C-alpha cells in the first residue's frame, strides 16, 4: 500500500506521543514553524500538527500530539507499520530565523514539541538560547535533554512542584527579568492562557515576542476561513499567514472563544466512540 507509513512511535509523556512518518517531500522542504494537515483515514477529519523534527535522508518527519480529542485518540491507536490517509504540507509560513543575540524560548505542555524546531533553528544561526519549559507535573515534561543540548540555560518548572521551580513559566521569566537578565527576543508556544500571560509580561518589559497559534483549521489553505484570528485589529488566516504572529498584537480572548466553538461536538464524538468500544467488548460505556 502506498501512503504515509508510521515507521516509529514512542510515548513522550502521559497522553503525549511522538510518531515518525514517511513523508519524503515534506521532509525535504519543511522549515521551522511549519505544519502538516493530517487525516488518519479516508473518513476522518483533517487536523493540523506542527512538524517537530525531520530527517530528509530517511524521508521522515516527526509529529507530536496529545490524545485529547476524537482524532488525536484515533491517531494514538495507530501503530508502527500502519498507514495514514494524508499528510499534506509543509503549510504555513516558516519562522523568520535571524541572529538576534539572546533569545528566550518559553514553552508549556505539548508546546514544548512545537518550540523545539525553533530552538534548533535559532541556535544554528548563532543565537544564545535560554529555554524555560513548564508542565503540570514532571511526568508531562519531555524533550528536556534535546532542548538542554541547544541551550545556554535551561529552566524547568511544574505546577505541582514535582520538578524544577514550583510555579508557572511566567514566574520563572519574570524572576530572570527582575534579576537583570536581558534578551533581544522571546518565543512563546503553549496553551492560550500561557501565551497570553507571557505576552503581557514581555510587553511590560518591551521584549519582542513571537507566538505560534493553533486555531481551528479545516483545509489548511486559507479557503474555509475557520482559522481566522485577529492580530493588530486585522483579520489574519493562521494557516497561510501564520502560524507565527507578533504576540503583543494577538487577540487571545477571541482566539480562546473560537477554540471552544466545537467543544460540545467533540465531547459527543468521544462519547460515541466510547459507546461503540463498550458495545464491541460486550459491556457498558462509562458515564
Three cell numbers at 25?
Answer: 517531500
**DSSP H helix total and E strand total for the chain:** 9, 16
Q: What are the structural domain ranges in the chain?
A: 4-91, 102-212
Confidence tier at 208 by pLDDT (50, 70, 90): very high
Give the CA distances from residue 37 to residues 12, 114, 218, 256, in Å, rounded to whole numbers and listed in that order. 22, 15, 9, 21
Q: Does domain 4-91 have CATH number 3.40.50.970?
A: no
- The pTM for the full model equals 0.87
Residue among 69, 8, 50, 98 at smallest CA distance from 270:
69
Q: How far apart are CA 243 and CA 173, in angstroms?
A: 23
Residue 54: how many CB atoms within 10 A of its CB? 23
Pairing outcome for strands 16-22 and 60-66: antiparallel
Instruction: Report DSSP state, residue 133.
Output: E
Give the CA distances from residue 120 to residues 18, 147, 259, in Å, rounded to whole numbers and listed in that order. 18, 8, 29
pLDDT of residue 286: 47
Domain boundaries 102-212, CATH class: alpha beta
pLDDT of residue 281: 61
- pLDDT, tens digit, for every residue of 17-27? 999 999 999 99
Report how far Cα 260 is from the mean position of its chain's Cα atoms: 17
Amino acid at each position: 500500500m502506498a501512503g504515509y507509513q508510521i515507521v516509529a512511535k514512542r510515548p513522550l509523556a502521559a497522553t503525549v506521543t511522538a510518531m515518525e512518518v514517511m513523508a519524503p517531500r515534506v521532509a525535504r522542504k519543511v522549515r521551522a514553524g511549519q505544519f502538516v494537515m493530517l487525516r488518519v483515514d479516508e473518513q476522518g477529519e483533517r487536523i493540523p500538527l506542527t512538524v517537530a523534527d525531520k530527517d530528509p535522508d530517511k524521508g521522515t518527519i516527526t509529529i507530536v500530539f496529545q490524545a485529547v480529542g476524537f482524532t488525536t485518540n484515533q491517531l494514538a491507536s495507530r501503530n508502527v507499520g500502519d498507514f495514514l490517509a494524508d499528510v499534506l504540507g509543509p503549510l504555513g509560513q516558516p519562522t523568520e530565523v535571524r541572529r538576534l543575540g539572546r533569545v528566550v524560548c518559553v514553552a508549556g505542555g505539548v508546546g514544548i514539541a512545537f518550540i523545539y524546531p525553533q530552538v534548533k533553528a535559532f541556535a544554528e544561526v548563532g543565537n544564545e538560547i535560554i529555554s524555560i519549559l513548564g508542565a503540570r507535573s514532571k511526568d508531562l515534561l519531555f524533550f528536556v535533554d534535546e532542548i538542554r543540548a541547544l541551550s545556554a540555560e535551561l529552566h524547568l518548572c511544574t505546577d505541582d512542584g514535582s520538578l524544577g521551580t514550583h510555579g508557572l513559566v511566567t514566574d520563572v521569566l519574570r524572576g530572570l527579568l527582575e534579576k537583570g537578565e536581558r534578551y533581544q527576543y522571546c518565543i512563546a508556544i503553549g496553551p492560550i492562557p500561557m501565551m497570553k500571560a507571557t505576552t503581557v509580561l514581555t510587553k511590560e518589559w518591551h521584549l519582542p515576542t513571537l507566538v505560534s497559534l493553533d486555531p481551528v483549521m479545516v483545509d489548511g489553505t486559507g479557503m474555509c476561513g475557520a482559522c481566522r484570528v485577529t492580530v493588530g485589529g486585522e483579520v489574519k488566516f493562521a494557516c497561510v499567514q501564520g502560524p507565527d504572529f507578533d504576540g503583543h498584537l494577538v487577540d487571545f480572548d477571541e482566539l480562546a472563544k473560537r477554540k471552544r466553538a466545537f467543544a460540545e461536538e467533540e465531547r459527543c464524538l468521544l462519547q460515541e466512540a466510547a459507546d461503540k468500544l463498550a458495545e464491541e467488548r460486550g459491556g457498558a460505556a462509562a458515564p
